[in-house]
Structure 1
Amino acid sequence: MTAKATVSYDRIEARDYALDHATDTPEFSKANKQGSDCANFVSKSINAGGIPVDKSGKWYPSSDGTINTCGDNWMRTGYYQNGGVVPYMTDKGYFYEQSNTGKVFAGSIMYWNKTSHVALVTYGDGSKIEYTQHSNKKLFSSAATVVYEAENATFYMPSSSIL
């Protein structure tokens, strides 16, 4: 198990990964009968920012492109209380809930409260938040970045101990 003190998260690297891969074809989709790709996309982004794969913590990517070979915490959001990227990141102390949207910045996680969905925040300046996401279908470049309006969502920011 990786100790929190040895983890370093580069939120800008995570943001850049998310922006660079926002229009990629989803690895998991309804088309290939594997659901949706949002948690996988956020996990890949966070991993690109430096959060290490954790086999024993069930946070690891698919080895063959199917949901059967990735960790529960990698490919689930946390919405159904059966593991997921948000509870994994908060339980490890890597991320914490932030209720003040004016403090949210790039590299944070956006978690929908009334549906199983997550996204990665790509911009936050105290008054405007933007995010990018995956779902079960490929996004066009015009839909790659979304401005947060008032979605019923909770934000999770990286802990200062890993920045």
Structure 2
Amino acid sequence: MFKKKLGLFVGILLIYTILFSNTVFAKTTYESDPTNTKLELSDSDSLKIKENIKTILDTQYEIMKTWKFKSNQELIGDSKLLELIEKTNKFKTQWYKKVNLKALNYNSTLDIENIQKNSNNKYTLNVKYSIDFYLSNSNVKSSSFDEKYIFELEKKGNNYYITKMLDLTDMQEEPINSTNQVRSINKLDYDASKKIENTEEYDNFITDKISSIDDISNNIDRYAEEQNKQTTSVPVNTKAAYSGYKANAAVNYALKWAYSFNPKYHNYDKEGGDCTNFVSQCVNWGGIPTAGSAWSSNTTSWINVKAFYNYMRSSGYTSGGDSSSGSRLGDVIQLYHKKWVGSDWSHTVIITGRDGSGWLYSAHSDPRKNYPIANVYPTSSYTNIRYIKFWH
């Protein structure tokens, strides 16, 4: 009997110890590059960091839902970053109203992949962010998956303030051709970390983005006019150069593979950017025929933004110029990016849906499905747009 009571007592004590440890002394452990040492944060600190970052990334969708702008200055610990964020959110509040972009609700997740301690009270974090939201004008589900960011936070008292923020799409370089590959994702993360550590270079980058926000804010009516032309028909007096494009097939392929990779093709996401490779697959599935070394899997015109555009235009597959007028489902959009690594046409997406605000697109790098083009253009990064409209 004594042994049974002793065993019961030890068991209860063990359970109590485990529960007490999990609630009071639990730690969250992350890899800390490049030394591969372990950095431990309490659950309360880890939760506070995630809450603060998630609030900042959620803000645009909260604005999209309410058309109201609430300052997040209590979370930002750098005056220039705060200026950029406040001006961006003010622009979005006005922009969403002008183009009638409104969300019913949204659901987001944020994962911290890595925390590196820079000093006694500063930390650099790699995070991934995903969002699902429904658009009120069509009840279409839009989503973005595994957006990559780097944040620097400074701990003051019991709170963590965001002092630097970098969207890794501002660092990506798409493959130039099939033999001259760009940086790997791991190298991209490393380069971005070094960029964010260089205070002068980072400050110049933020200053440039503030200038871009000022510019698009001053020209908001011009951008809205272009946005509203998306479904305007343009009379075509010439005979179609190609009539074999099946837009529905291209759209269906895009929606099927937006968040995964067809194993029949090389995945260029590992080399910096898969966007044009993905869109080439879509339009090929829709009926644009391969052409040997001119346009087929892994050729320069298949994987590179500008080469894809030049090939489609010169081969007679497109109509109506670069404006949004006359664009339709299955057509392609390209965006001009004021990146850290150099401004250029650098992103290719395909139109897969429509909402009251305009076209929805699907893409790789960042993976997105039926995402409103009005939420990525214009921005402090994407400052110009062109449409590739196929004969169909």
Report the TM-score when normalising by structure 1: 0.72
Cα separation, 2, equivalents of 1:45 and 1:10: 10
Distance 1:124-1:98 versus aligned 2 partners, 3 A rule: farther
Distance 1:6-1:112 versus aligned 2 partners, 3 A rule: closer
Amino acid at match of 2:304: R
Tell me, yes or no, if structure 1 residue 146 matches structure 2 residue 371.
Answer: yes
Amino acid at match of 1:117: H
Over aligned residues, Cα RMSD in angstroms?
2.3
The counterpart of 1:24, out of the listed 227, 245, 260, is: 260
Cα separation, 2, equivalents of 1:11 and 1:40: 18
Greater Rg over alpha carbons, structure: 2
Q: 1:28 offset after TM fit, Å?
A: 1.1
The counterpart of 1:15, out of the listed 246, 251, 270, is: 251
> Could you list the runs of 4 or more consecutive aligned residues of structure 1 that deviate by over 6 angstroms after TM superposition?
none
Higher helix proportion (structure 1 or 2): 2
Aligned positions, number: 134
Cα separation, 1, equivalents of 2:369 and 2:269: 17
Cα separation, 2, equivalents of 1:147 and 1:127: 8
Q: 1:132 offset after TM fit, Å?
A: 0.7
Cα separation, 2, equivalents of 1:28 and 1:113: 20
Higher relative contact order (CA 8 A, sep 6+): 1
Cα separation, 2, equivalents of 1:104 and 1:127: 14
For 1:91-102, list aligned pairs within 5 A: 91-96=314-319, 97-99=321-323, 101-102=324-325
For 1:23-42, list aligned pairs within 5 A: 23-25=259-261, 27-30=267-270, 34-42=271-279
Report the TM-score when normalising by structure 2: 0.32
Higher strand proportion (structure 1 or 2): 2
For 1:47-66, list aligned pairs within 5 A: 47-57=284-294, 59-61=295-297
Query: How many percent of aligned residue pairs carry the same amino acid?
Result: 29
Cα separation, 1, equivalents of 2:331 and 2:280: 12
Cα separation, 2, equivalents of 1:156 and 1:148: 14
Conservation of the 8 A alpha-carbon contact between 1:102 and 1:126: no
Q: 1:46 offset after TM fit, Å?
A: 0.3
Which SS does the other structure have where 2:351 is aligned?
strand
CA-to-aligned-CA distance 1:40-98 (integer Å, 9 cap, x gap):
000000000011111141x111xxxxxxxx111001010xxxxx211111110101334
